[in-house]
Every structure is written in C-alpha cells, then in structure tokens.
Chain A
C-alpha cells in the first residue's frame, strides 16, 4: 500500500511541474466550456428573411409587421419578384423568402381563402423545419386575427374544439445554455482525463522509465492505480471548477444532489481512465496514442446525445450508446442538475458505467505487460 502512495506522490509532482500542461488542464477547458455553451445551440434565431410583397395591401403590411415583431427574423430585403428572391437564396444572403402573392387581400375577402408561399433553404433540415415552422405559426395567428375581425359566427354547433395548453418543465425559457453547459462539462472532463492518461503512459514508455518500473517489484495493479488516482483527482477538480463557472456565468440550475453527480463522475472517470490506459498500452508512440484516443473521443461525443437526441437515432445506434461513457455522463448531468433526478432515477447509468469501469480496467491490467 505504501508503494502505491509513493507512485501517486511522484505522479503529482510531475503533473504540477509540467508548466506547459497546467493551463491546458485548467484554463483551456473552462474557456471551452464557456465558448461551447454559447456556440453550441440549435436555437433558431436571426434567420435572414426576404419578403416578396406582390400585394402591397393593408393586410400584407400587417403580416409583415407581425413577422418583424416576432424577433426571430432579420428582414434583409424586399425583392420585387420571386426570381429575385430565388437569387438571394442562391447567393446565401437569406435563408427564407416569404411570398405574398398579388391580390392576396382581395382573394381572402372575396373567395374566402388565401395562400402564402415560403421558399426555404433546406440544406440544414432542422433550421429549415423550425424556421418555417415559426413563420407558419405567425401566419396562423395572423389568420386568427383576420377572422376575429370579421366577427364570424364562432362555430357551427356541431364543431367541437380541442384546445391545448402547453408547459415546458425544467427549462421554461427554453434556455439552450441550461441544456448544453452540463453536458459539455461532462464531456470535457471525460476527454481531458482520457487524453492525458493515454499520453502519459506512452511518454514514459518512450523515455524508458516504464522499463525501469517493470524491473522493480511493483505490482501491475499498483502501477495502474498509481496512474489513475492523480488523474481521477484532476478530473474531479476540473468538474468542481466547471460547475462553479457554469453556475456563476450561466446560472444553471442545480436541482439534484451534487453527491450523486460527483459519485458518478468518479465511476465514469474510472471507466474512462481504464480505457485510456488500455489504449496507451497498445500504442507505440505518443502520436498513435493521441490519435487513437482522439478517434474514440470524437465518436463518443457525436453519439453521446450531447448535440442531437439519442432518441432520434436508429435502434442499432441507440444500443451503441450503451458502452459510451460520455453518453451516460451527459445524461446524468442533465437529469440531476436540471430535473433533480435522484440516484434511483439514474441507477441504470451507474450500473452500465460500473460494468464499463470493471471491464476497461481489467483490459488495462491484462494488456500491461511487465514480462514480454
């Protein structure tokens, strides 16, 4: 046991003495957290819009006012024809063109119907759907207003209505930062620790100190634990700092128990450290270790539910998220912080991550050869 303490002591000394890496391990992740939380938002705002108003009636002007008031669109231009509008789309100067056809007002009052056209740049499917969706609901509400003005007989007696009320729980303002920051923090802590671990071991192998260690009576598990503990602690420190920063800067809610969060973090880091060590045991050079880790990290992140929901993935892909430590961490962070989920609620993630921790560390110990 004492031998383990000596190993851990040495690791810490080395970590703190590495002046170049210290900022990378502390400041850089925090900066990333902040930048990412601001940048990573799928919110649809500031959509650039052009309006082709071939009607020029009072009604059309009313509609345009409503669109402006909605605050999600930037009115860029008022082209005179649909062809001009097409060109604006082509050049990428606007994302949507709204066309109010000629005689719109007259047709509405005389023939009791109307049609508005939306021409949408659909390359980004989600932006297109949500953006045109917003415009649609503005147009619908404009429609309601016009009908109300006509003071129509409300409904014939055999027309029943279903009204809906909707409420948004946990994040009533639909604040994207609440959504992204916890997940990003979880992801950052994980990948930093994984990267550092993988590089560390390979570096020792490159300079020859691993061989020296192998000649001593150190046991494999002592060596591996000795590598893990310092990085585990670094990960936890980063998590703490990150949570504090997120709270101070974004004011994210902390509704659940932080004990659960930290306990899960420890388990998650153990799994990830085991994986990092396993990768480094199989790598010959630092470059290989970095690249392999990087490869895993990118795949983990993209499939973690951080940016797009796991629910949207095909079933086979959803199964692949089970051995993905980041997916579990992101889910736990979001559930506990935003929804106040308890340990029981997220016990599934604990179980899966626990299995991964055991599995990856067994692989790490097995793949570490003291004797060639």
Chain B
C-alpha cells in the first residue's frame, strides 16, 4: 500500500462486525495533514467504534487503514506513539492534581523531566490555571476538565489528536472556547479528528463525514455538503440524509 506523504489518516473499506451485527460498514476516507476533520453521525451510528479502530483499541474485521503512516493491524504501538486521544469520559485522574496528571501522561509518553516541567508551565498558562496547578482535578468545573483533557491529549505534540465527543454536557459558550483550542492546535500543524453529534460543530471543521447506520453516507466540506443536499445548515443536511435513507 503506497504511503501518501500528505495524508495523516487513510482508510479503505474499514469494517467492524460484532457477530451478526455490522457496526462499521466499509468506510473509506482520507484526512490531510493539518486538517480538522469532523466525524459526524447520530448516537449509535458507529462513530465510537470507528474511532477505536483508528486509534488501535479495536481490531478491524476487514478493510485497511494507516494512521500517520502506520498500519492499524500490525503497528498499533507505533500509532499510539504518534497520536493523542481524548475520550468521552475525559479520563483524567480526579484524585491527582493538574500538575500530577501532566507529569504522569508526559512521563508515559516518554518526555524528559525538563520537557515535562516546561509542559506543566505551558499548559497551565494556556488554560490560565497557573495558580491552580496543585488543585485536584476532581475539583475543577467541567469546562476546565475538558480543556485540560485536550491539553493532555497533546502533551507529547503528536501528529494527530483524536477527540471522541469532547463537548458533551457543556454550554455553548464553553464549547466555543474549546473549539478555540482546537483551531490553535490545528494552526500548529496538528491534524484533528473529532467525532460529535452536534451538527452545528460541523461548521467549524474543514471537512466532515456523516455516518448513518455504520455507513459513511456523506463526505466533503460543509459548504460542499450544503450544496449537495440543498440545505441551509448542517442540521438540514443531516435531516435530509437520514430521511433520504428511510425512503
């Protein structure tokens, strides 16, 4: 499989079956480096299953994919060195302080002590939490936890950051602030792969795909899709897509 230098993520016919049930049905797509790629779909459409295959947590049933040039079947450990991940549950250690969480994940990713110290400063400054680096994460409000989780996902400056429904449960202002962070990361050259079921967030992405019942039924930039489906907003695109399906 020839490696395209400019693609961060390549997937071809990627499939995941659980017994008789096909959760992800032969999806194919590419993500360019530095792109913000939105992975949309309703709850239960197969987004989380798909992302798990891409980050090396789940073995595909069929199809191919490379992440940062590494194969998802045989090179999962290399993939993990080069990506960051933020799960729906944030996965922060609530009984550890901010600094301790950074130290742990930094250490796990192989950063040196100096690098970790720098990162602690960098992250707490960016989050404007410099005075709180010794506060237990459990005491932080939800919005801060969210942004901290994102920073931790990028603590080792990976090529790609995967986000699985990162903005669940927060108000629109906080969501907007979060997306600021995403833009900033993308501006630094990091590829962002984000799943969400909020259709308005789709507008923030360079390109998006929409999954319906395990299949990828739409792929393109928000503008392209709105033209394709003659819709005024992404919400409408989605509704038309789903309705079109059930016809």
Contacts and interface: CB of A to CB of B under 8 A. Distances in A.
A and B touch in the complex (CB under 8 A): yes
Interface of A: 2-3, 5-7, 9-10, 13-14, 17-18, 207-209, 211-219, 370-372
16 contacts: A6-B107, A9-B104, A18-B95, A209-B91, A209-B92, A212-B91, A216-B105, A216-B109, A370-B56, A370-B57, A371-B57, A371-B58, A371-B59, A371-B76, A372-B52, A372-B58
Contacts of A218: 108
B59 A3 contact: no
A10 B96 contact: yes
B108 A216 contact: yes
Contacts of B83: 215
A14 B57 contact: no
A312 B59 CA distance: 52
B57 to A, nearest CB: 6
B177 to A, nearest CB: 23
Nearest to A209: B91
Nearest to A206: B89
Interface in B232-246: none
Contacts of A211: 57, 87, 89, 91
A7 B108 contact: yes
B119 interface: no
A4 to B, nearest CB: 9
B107 A2 contact: yes
Interface residues of B, number: 31
B135 interface: no
B235 to A, nearest CB: 30
B33 interface: no
Given A17-B95, A208-B89, A215 B56 contact: yes
A13 B91 contact: no
A32 to B, nearest CB: 26
Interface in B45-101: 52, 55-59, 76-77, 80-81, 83, 85, 87-96, 100
Contacts of B52: 372
A221 B83 CA distance: 21
B108 A3 contact: yes
B103 interface: yes
Q: What DSSP secondary structure best describes chain B's contact surface?
A: loop
A287 to B, nearest CB: 20
Nearest to A15: B95
A36 B103 CA distance: 43
Given A14-B96, A17-B95, A208-B91, A215 B108 contact: no
B44 interface: no
- Chain A CB count within 10 A is highest, among B87, B88, B93, B108, for B108
Nearest to A2: B107
Nearest to B116: A6
B72 to A, nearest CB: 10
B168 interface: no
Nearest to A6: B107
B110 interface: yes
A97 to B, nearest CB: 62
A207 B93 CA distance: 9
B56 A6 contact: no
Contacts of B56: 215, 370-371
B8 to A, nearest CB: 16
Given A14-B95, A216-B109, A217-B110, A208 B59 contact: no
Contacts of A207: 89, 91, 94
A281 to B, nearest CB: 16
B91 A6 contact: no
A217 B109 contact: yes
B100 A13 contact: yes
A231 to B, nearest CB: 17
- Chain A CB count within 10 A is highest, among B87, B88, B91, for B91
